[in-house]
Amino acid sequence: MNEIVGDPDGVGKRFAVVVSRFNELVTKELLAGARQCLLAHRVEDSAIDVYWVPGAFELPAALARVAALKRHDGIVALGCVIRGATPHFEYVAGAATQGIADIARTAAMPVTFGLLTTDTLEQALERAGAKAAGNKGWDAARCALEMCGLLRQIE
Ligand code: INI
């Protein structure tokens, strides 16, 4: 049996983080987590490009263009959609999720999913580092690093 697991080492690699400003209280914590993770895996701070978009709905369009540049080894998508009282949540969360998934399947580099979809702000903050639930930005960056390593080994 041959088991192949991606090496998450970030030395010499360049990453893009595409992050939405809507619910910035949460998304800035996701970004901080993603940055910490990339630095902890030896990515240079100057090799991290951060692109801000207005809301989660805009993530797929920006991701597609950043991916087309082929300037990065991996891309991390970060955002936060909170349910609130209207059906708007379903449309924004659904469109963003589907759009990110489409790009992740077709891009030449790994594109990982750090979009929080929660019922409340409290739940979102918990998943952005406030409690033991960890930081989903950190997790998405770690997945991008590992997938970079894996894709290199597959190729
Ligand atoms: N965008 C978010 O990122 N999170 C939300 O919770 C949200 N809600 O609830 O409306 C949201 N809406 C804005 C949307 O992403 C677009 O920016 C806007 O519709 C313009 O296209």
Place 84 in a pLDDT band, splitting at 50, 70 and 90. Answer: confident
pLDDT digits (tens, 9 = 90+) for 20-73: 999 999 999 999 999 999 999 999 999 999 999 999 999 999 999 999 999 999
pLDDT digits (tens, 9 = 90+) for 103-139: 999 999 999 999 999 999 999 999 999 666 699 999 9
* Amino acid at site 65: R
Strand order in the sheet with 15-20: 48-53, 15-20, 74-82, 111-118
- Taken in order of first residue, the domains within the chain and their CATH numbers are 15-150 (3.40.50.960)
72 in active site: no
Tell me phi and psi for residue 115, to 5 degrees: -100, 120
Q: Mutation test of ligand 1: which of 24, 27, 57, 97 has the most ligand atoms closer than 8 Å to its C-beta?
A: 57
C-alpha separations of 48 from 4, 42, 91 in Å: 27, 11, 30
**From the CA of 11, how far away is ligand 1's center (Å)?**
35
Instruction: From 19, 21, 30, 81, give the residue whose CB has the most ligand 1 atoms within 8 Å, as the site to mutate.
Output: 81
